């Protein structure tokens, strides 16, 4: 092959690589809209709610300003008597707590020992976590490539937003629903 032909092939290859790269970057992952009736309003505190320092509030607007992610989790929940383990896999449409904290410009304490999450029905859950590296706020699910609202038809209530304390956990208790408050390092 002569030098001219080699040069033409190299230029053509370079053009094809650049074109493919541009096409991929112009077609990002499907982003789902936050359901119209889902009002995300999660207050983030340090300490106790009575003597708390409000660090920020997570809202629909906050979530719209950061990257949406799909978080796949397989959890096990014991159901029945005697308890039988039931495995469930879900793909959550979620937002990273680290991204949320950065967007809200929240200064976290040097040491995180635990997080308490309170739901709109006043149910609370405690999680022993030291960072938010694997934690997320969810708005729904993805099933068969489509968005599914996290709405309980029987109870007529959104179960989103949910808090995932650790996406690597297999415990169904690592996910809280109907979240309205997150307390970092709660004081007993």
How does pLDDT run across 9-65, given as a tens digit for each residue? 777 777 776 765 555 444 445 689 999 999 999 999 998 656 778 999 999 999 999
179 burial level (CB within 10 Å; 0-12, 13-18, 19+): buried
What is the DSSP code (8-state) at residue 122?
Answer: S
pLDDT in tens, 90-126: 999 999 999 999 999 999 999 999 999 999 999 999 9
What is the number of other CB atoms lying within 10 angstroms of the CB of residue 44? Answer: 22
Measure Cα distances from 173 to 82, 109, 159, 176 in Å. 19, 25, 15, 7
Q: How high is the mean pLDDT of the chain? A: 89
pLDDT of residue 2 exceeding 80, the answer is no
Size of the chain in residues: 188
């Amino acid at each position: 092959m002569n030098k001219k032909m080699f040069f033409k092939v190299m230029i053509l290859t370079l053009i094809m690589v650049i074109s493919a790269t541009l096409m991929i970057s112009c077609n990002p992952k499907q982003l789902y809209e936050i359901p119209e009736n889902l009002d995300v309003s999660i207050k983030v505190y340090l300490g106790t709610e009575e003597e708390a320092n409000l660090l920020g509030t997570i809202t629909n607007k906050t979530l719209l300003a950061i990257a949406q992610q799909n978080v796949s989790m397989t959890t096990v929940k014991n159901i029945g008597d005697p308890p039988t383990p039931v495995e469930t896999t879900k793909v959550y449409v979620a937002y990273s707590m680290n991204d949320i904290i950065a967007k809200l410009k929240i200064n976290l304490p040097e040491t995180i020992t635990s997080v308490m999450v309170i739901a709109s029905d006043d149910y609370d859950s405690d999680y022993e976590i030291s960072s938010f590296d694997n934690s997320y706020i969810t708005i729904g699910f993805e099933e068969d490539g489509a968005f599914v609202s996290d709405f309980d038809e029987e109870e007529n209530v959104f179960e989103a937003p949910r808090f995932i304390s650790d996406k690597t956990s297999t415990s169904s208790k690592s996910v809280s629903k109907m979240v309205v408050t997150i307390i970092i390092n709660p004081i007993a």
